Structure 1
């Protein structure tokens, strides 16, 4: 008998650790290596669940320790992933292959390192596993330990001869991954074992460049102390001070200048650190560089000064810093002003995280559910899917979004900056009508604003008017299920979510004025009996009602909803107005509620749904002012008179 996922009774008994049933099934001819739909044997499942007695019985009955799943993983891979050392011992006693490589060349040692199971990693290494084998993207186990700051495992790997200068396919070493993450002790450990602080990846990035990107001063101090070159250049000519200026890391800039970094050094496109700060809208960095005597007359290959760059992109705060300085020439040729500006960016390390438990990346553990079996019902059986061992090592793509030596990233709609057709170069800000662009999960917006429509989430629309973004902001917007939030909003009787929860980013981002988020919903608002409210949560733990009022007279707020979106959603669109992003918004439908502040003087609450429904508070009934809410609910003709009520609540 098989389940929908082709599991046999032996699979289920192995998960539950029922030794007697396992022995009984084997004695009556159950095939020990029968696989599920995803090629999992009973031994794979016992390895995951840590059922060592079951594993021992299966092995004694000739279960294959070399059997692989659809993704190429052996039972030892599974035991290593879940840290089940005793099962791993049983498998190794039966000559399980130590360095077996599954999907994307992942070995059991990779898994033990990734999930921080130092005891399993130690045992596998002592049995002779190679610490040098790379995954498909070139990551060795030491790369993983360095990135995840696993000191014990890293020390063990180094003791067993792991190479601290091993390169991934993109040329990155464990030291560079550690430096990017800001791991102070790990960086120290790697340098003590011979890691090269000046090693360059294939795009020219060094560990110090990555520290400059992340503003990791402590790690940078270790690198410089051990001979890291503050003037090292990438393939595009970027030095650490360029990178720090690009990302607005003022503390790192001061650190580099203290260690004799040149302030006016140029990239291959003749961009100085001041150009980078102006391009990104970092007024505080521009101020510090000018105070440090950076040249404000320096020109790019296109003849642009830092002030010209700020003018083209509309960064008023940067323009204020640079305008009062003496210039040799104020503007480049008129021809240059007519051309679209091309953003010049440094190389970055963006190596794909090759193992993930994220549901978005297919990392759910359905077959091997974390909840113990209580009984087997039809609903439980529906949830029994095979453990996918989530490994995402499809490519070594550390720089899939970077620019090569000869490339420039064009500042056009393809980059989601949404430059309008009537862009006015005199002040760098467009005040005309915003045009729609589409985005998947995120888009970049600057001082010129933008109107973006989600192509993934039912036409959700975000409007950022001009001069609202204080600097370039990568806006993210996703609709997620309520069970993905740590503490979903608590709903009263008669309340329900009108759409999925809206996850915004960056969390805490503030704008210089209101921005709009138009969200389609599926709530049926009949007459005046129901209403929609907006809840917000800064951290996913607590919720409060969002103040959706505004005092801005901007004509943009009077524009109609997108006609195409309105047609597809029959007008069911909720407009959120906000000046800052919480982590989550939630749109809730509820029975119409009248809310007023009533104090010791008393007062009357009158329902807008039924005027004859009133709540009267005589003088002296309340000792202080409180918010009081009134809801009027209709009930069917079947209700008894005593069950008909009007709900009144205080806040």
Structure 2
């Protein structure tokens, strides 16, 4: 079992846009160069060399690259000479989203002061707040919230900023978004609400936050999976000890140990298939029945490749 917020070509295209700007635009000139960090100097030099010949598209490319690189003086220069805070890249994102995603608070402040629309969305629906939440940029999340950003506008696949933060394990960001009215129960287009991503990601702090908002610990999600099942079959990058903390918390909170999903599988079967012996033993200690079979007739012992775990799971 793997959690997933589907991705688009955003990351590759952002890099291409920045590279294109370095080639076709650029920037640096006396006072500008003195004030900006070294990584901005080539952009500024090229901009000063080519600005008389730049098209509106090339100026926008320069603006996106400067926002990504946190070149405050260059962005100021571009905006003063006609660049638009409402310019869009190939994915529909504005400069504010570039700055928020890159973690540049001063750039975010500049763009907002120049009238950047705080809730502008890219083609997938993602806002600057979504990007900042996903990346865990706490100060930027706070600034956008202070400026009235909508906490419930969804991004790719219908995932909300709080879902993106839960998926990425951004505990503090989740807390901030919930405090500002984020809907912690809303499922995305795949049928998973934020708490599912937190459970599958072994994020105990976030699971606790979300369950405290009157979410049923035994609720069913897509394919009849429960939180315990998601926690018992965590994302492959999650250490078993970390996932075990969530499993234990859910069991102690009343999770039903032998509930079945659409395939007839229990949390024990899922843990066995994922080869998680510590989780399987904890489930057994809480009364999980290893004699149960799924709809294909397989028992938990049939699903693991670990011989020692298979022995423990084989009904006597």
* Bucket of the pairwise TM-score, normalised by the shorter protein: 0.7 to 0.9
The runs of 4+ residues in structure 1 deviating greater than 4 Å are 4-10, 19-23
Question: 1 CA distance for matches of 2:55 and 2:134?
Answer: 28
Question: 2 CA distance for matches of 1:263 and 1:29?
Answer: 71
- Gap runs ≥5 in structure 1: 296-651
Q: 1:258 corresponds to which residue? A: 285
Q: What is the Cα-based RMSD across aligned positions, in Å?
A: 3.0
Query: How many residues were matched structurally?
Result: 281
1:235-279 residue CA offsets vs partner (Å, 9 max, x unmatched): 1111101112222322222211222222322212232223334xx
Question: 1 CA distance for matches of 2:226 and 2:293?
Answer: 18
Q: Are 1:131 and 2:131 matched, yes or no?
A: no
Question: 2 CA distance for matches of 1:32 and 1:127?
Answer: 33
Cα deviation for residue 75 of structure 1 reads: 0.7
Q: 1:242 corresponds to which residue? A: 269
Q: Which is greater in Rg?
A: 1
Question: 2 CA distance for matches of 1:10 and 1:245?
Answer: 56
Cα 1:76/1:32, change in 2 over 3 Å: farther
Q: 2:57 corresponds to which residue? A: 35
Cα deviation for residue 94 of structure 1 reads: 2.5
Q: 1:13 aligns with which of 22, 28, 34?
A: 28
Residues 257 and 286 of structure 2 are in contact (CA less than 8 Å); yes or no, is this contact kept in structure 1?
yes
Question: 2 CA distance for matches of 1:32 and 1:198?
Answer: 59
Question: 2 CA distance for matches of 1:240 and 1:210?
Answer: 8
Cα 1:5/1:92, change in 2 over 3 Å: closer
Cα deviation for residue 17 of structure 1 reads: 4.7
Q: 1:220 aligns with which of 219, 223, 247?
A: 247
Cα deviation for residue 123 of structure 1 reads: 0.8
Q: 1:156 corresponds to which residue? A: 176
Q: Are 1:268 and 2:290 matched, yes or no?
A: no
Question: 2 CA distance for matches of 1:102 and 1:227?
Answer: 41
Q: 1:283 corresponds to which residue? A: 307
Residues 17 and 46 of structure 1 are in contact (CA less than 8 Å); yes or no, is this contact kept in structure 2?
no
Q: Are 1:187 and 2:207 matched, yes or no?
A: yes
Q: 2:95 corresponds to which residue? A: 75
Cα deviation for residue 33 of structure 1 reads: 6.7
Question: 2 CA distance for matches of 1:196 and 1:58?
Answer: 52
Q: Are 1:105 and 2:120 matched, yes or no?
A: no
Give the TM-score taking structure 1 as reference length. Answer: 0.40
Residues 179 and 187 of structure 1 are in contact (CA less than 8 Å); yes or no, is this contact kept in structure 2?
yes
Q: For residues 92-491 of structure 1, what are the structure 2 equivalents within 5 Å?
A: 92-214=112-234, 215=240, 216-277=243-304, 281-290=305-314, 294=315
- Gap runs ≥5 in structure 2: 1-18, 36-40, 235-239
Cα deviation for residue 80 of structure 1 reads: 0.6
Q: Higher strand share goes to which structure?
A: 1
SS of the aligned residue for 2:248 comes to helix
Residues 60 and 84 of structure 2 are in contact (CA less than 8 Å); yes or no, is this contact kept in structure 1?
no
Cα deviation for residue 207 of structure 1 reads: 1.9
Question: 1 CA distance for matches of 2:24 and 2:202?
Answer: 49
Q: Higher helix share goes to which structure?
A: 2
- Which protein has greater RCO, CA pairs closer than 8 Å, 6+ apart? 2
Cα deviation for residue 79 of structure 1 reads: 0.6
Q: For residues 539-618 of structure 1, what are the structure 2 equivalents within 5 Å?
A: none
